[in-house]
Amino acid sequence: MMPITLKFVLVLIGTLLISLVLTPLVRFFAFRVGAVDNPNARRINKVPMPSAGGLAIVISFVIATLVLMPMILKTQIGGKSYFEYILPVVLGALVIALTGFIDDVYELSAKLKFLGTLLGAVIIWIFTDFRFDSFKIPFGGPMLHFSPLLSFFLTILWVVAITNAVNLIDGLDGLVSGVSIISLTTMGLVSYFFLYDTDIFLTFTIFVLIFAIAGFFPYNYHPAIIYLGDTGALFIGFMISVLSLQGLKNATAVAVVTPIIVLGVPIVDTTVAIIRRTLSGQKFYEADNMHLHHRLLAMGFTHRGAVLVVYGIAMFFSLVSLLLNVSSRLGGILLMIGVAFALEIFIEGLEFWGPKRTPLFKLLAFIGNSDYRQEVVAKYRRKKKK
């Protein structure tokens, strides 16, 4: 395991400072080009807010990975230098960021945004080793190897799904940037301690991205003076999806589960939203006001309070993913069962599935409440007679 050197620490500090300095400039630029979020029924802001703040993150990340990192990192992996390793990733990310920026200024249709995300994902599959070409079934299952066609489909699906899932939770000040820092830090720790020997470049890239986001974060935390916009949310989601692909095809089962658990907040929020909308007769891609942060606000949480609750949930998922990496097989299985049970209680408590959709609560009441049990049985018998 290569120790973290002073040069790398200086690169991280430099990345942070570049992002910190660029964000006010990007704020001024956003106003000039019309990348502004105006108040409406679905938005939280009461006054026009500059968007496209993610440009500061994108630029600082590009400078750090294409200029600073190649200067200090001379190691090669598979005959590739760090520059050769990261260049196609950056190109794919720039396609995503450009798509987001155009949307922040001109409001692209969902179809055009999807095509931009799709193009970025295709670049990753063609020009990098970040592919969903194998998968270890967790907790003692076999290692699956996919054909090129299936690998292509799964890679595109993963990248597009995670990119959009992260974008969907971007509804409160500092929400995506804070959750991303928590998730990426966990991914970085797992990468450094458990995947390091296979891809040291991955660990370095993750931490560079963390510090690029951290420089933007003070301006974005409530009360924010600039938003990530689709420029930043899509870019961060895309980078997280790509970087997490290395864990999904690792031979260690817990490394496979880790990126899925770490991304628990956007994955759960999006999955529940799709199911909820389908059950309600809506199109699954239609927007609504029932996302996690919307439900927390509806329950009476303040803006900052709702954000902190989501941070807490993200930290919980991160802690679980770290525990999985040091647990026995049985311990990991029991931990996942416990997480699933706790998560369902939380979802039903927030009426996340929708009003009166509380299957677990009803099951527990059926088991523990004789009056309720008799009532349900009686209703079932009456319905059967009809």
**Each residue's pLDDT tens digit, 115-130:** 999 999 999 999 998 8
> Is 170 labelled a binding residue?
no
Domain ranges of the chain: 4-253, 357-385
The whole-angstrom distance between residue 12's C-alpha and the CA centroid of its chain comes to 22
Residue 44 is encoded by which pair of tokens?
A: 């939280």
DSSP 57-75: HHHHHHHIIIIIHHHH---
Give the span between the Cα atoms of 114 and 190, in whole angstroms. 31
β-pair partners for 143: 136
**Each residue's pLDDT tens digit, 237-248:** 999 989 888 765
Residue 40 is encoded by which pair of tokens?
A: 């409406």
Which residues lie below 8 Å from residue 188, measured CB to CB, with a gap of 6+? 203, 206, 207, 210
Report the percent of the chain where pLDDT is more than 90.
Answer: 34
**Each residue's pLDDT tens digit, 138-155:** 666 677 788 889 989 989
Give the global pTM.
0.85
Angle between helices 229-248 and 54-63 (to 10 degrees): 50
**Each residue's pLDDT tens digit, 7-64:** 899 999 999 999 999 999 999 999 999 888 876 655 566 678 888 999 999 999 999 9
- Reference 231, options 220, 244, 222; nearest CA is 220
Q: What pLDDT score was predicted for residue 345?
A: 80
Backbone angles phi, psi at 173, to 5 degrees: -55, 125
> Is 220 labelled a binding residue?
no
Q: Which amino acid is at 19?
A: S
> Which of the four pLDDT bands, split at 50, 70 and 90, describes residue 68?
very high
Q: Which of the 8 DSSP states describes residue 225?
A: S
CB-based contacts of 81-87 (< 8 A; 24+ apart in sequence):
82/201, 82/204, 85/128, 85/201, 86/201, 86/205
Give the span between the Cα atoms of 198 and 138, in whole angstroms. 19
